[in-house]
Amino acid sequence: MSGLFQKGKVPLAEELRPHTLDDVFGQAHLLDEEGVLRRIIQSKTPQSLLFWGPPGCGKTTLAKIYASSFDAHFEQISAIFSGVADLKKIAAEAVKRHEMGDLTVLFVDEIHRFNKSQQDAFLPYVESGEIILVGATTENPSFELNSALLSRLQVLTLKQLDTQDFEAILQKVINLKGDLPWEDNSTDFIIQLASGDARYFLNLVETLYGVAGSKKLSQKDVERILNKKKPIYDKSGEAHYDMISTLHKSIRGSDTDGALYWFARMIDGGEDP
């Protein structure tokens, strides 16, 4: 009977997740010798942080490395699925650890999804140091986080990964899984399709490894397979309003890179410019 139930396969993106700062691709402005995040870690004085950047740029990975660097207990929640009750449960355990001299890092993904009163619930624990809060958001925090919480967080802006970063990631993939299953001229297409999102990029790569046979996939094969894997974009649905809201906020916040990124995502999804 034991053979009936096999251990679940780990997704490629998780298998290749970096565990140290030196293994992280991109974000040199935060991670090189003068980078803010590296300097915070080297100071051995943990601070509450906010990672602001596009999807798949490494926010979750950096939060886990950050906690590990301080030998802290790591907790993770998503503001989409969690509420104040979840925070209070985590905080109760964090307070006990704090009394014993141990740290708790709480990573909150999509923290901008919490309303003002929910965001306020973090304040006493952040102020006391009982919780080291690390938030992650794709939205401009000046518009989405209340000032009381934002003033207690060090905001670190993450950038989209570039072609060089993706090429380095591919080398890691080759080291793990062997030669790429597609012809060399398809690599640029796959990188472009990922739109700077490393997690999505690795999902695309994993798909191609899964469907490839003994013969390498041609560029037409790759385009045929991956065009069906592009994210669904409903021009009249929630994705439309979420993206146009983010675009407007980027423009109002003079965030040129962010505005260009979201504009390109909408055009690629079929919006009328």
Task: Evaluate whether residue 13 is within a structural domain.
Answer: no
d(CA 154, CA 158): 13
Query: Residue 9 falls within a domain, yes or no?
Result: no
At 9 the pLDDT is 79
Are 68 and 125 members of one domain? Answer: yes
Same domain, 186 and 218: yes
Q: What is the pLDDT of residues 95-126, one digit of tens each?
A: 999 999 999 999 999 999 999 999 999 999 99
Judge if 39 and 120 occupy the same domain: yes
Total count of domains within the chain: 3
Please write the tens of the pLDDT for every residue from 183-208.
988 999 999 999 899 999 999 999 99
Average pLDDT over residues 239-253: 68
Give the model confidence (pLDDT) of 65-98 as tens digits: 999 999 999 999 999 999 999 999 999 999 999 9
144 within a domain of the structure (yes/no): yes
Q: Is the pLDDT of residue 267 over 60?
A: yes
pLDDT at 3 over 70: no
CA-CA distance, 125 to 127, in Å (whole number)? 5
The answer to whether position 216 is within a domain reads yes
The verdict on residue 66 lying in a domain is: yes
Is residue 213 domain-shared with residue 251, that is, in the same domain?
no
Q: What is the pLDDT of residue 6?
A: 46
- Rounded percentage of the chain residues whose pLDDT exceeds 70: 85
pLDDT digits (tens, 9 = 90+) for 207-229: 999 998 888 999 899 999 987 54
Q: Is the pLDDT of residue 24 over 60?
A: yes
Rounded to the nearest integer, the mean pLDDT of the chain is: 88
Strand order in the sheet with 154-157: 73-78, 104-109, 132-137, 49-52, 154-157
Containing structural domain, residue 174: 163-227
Are 126 and 248 within one domain? no
Do 59 and 126 have their domain in common? yes
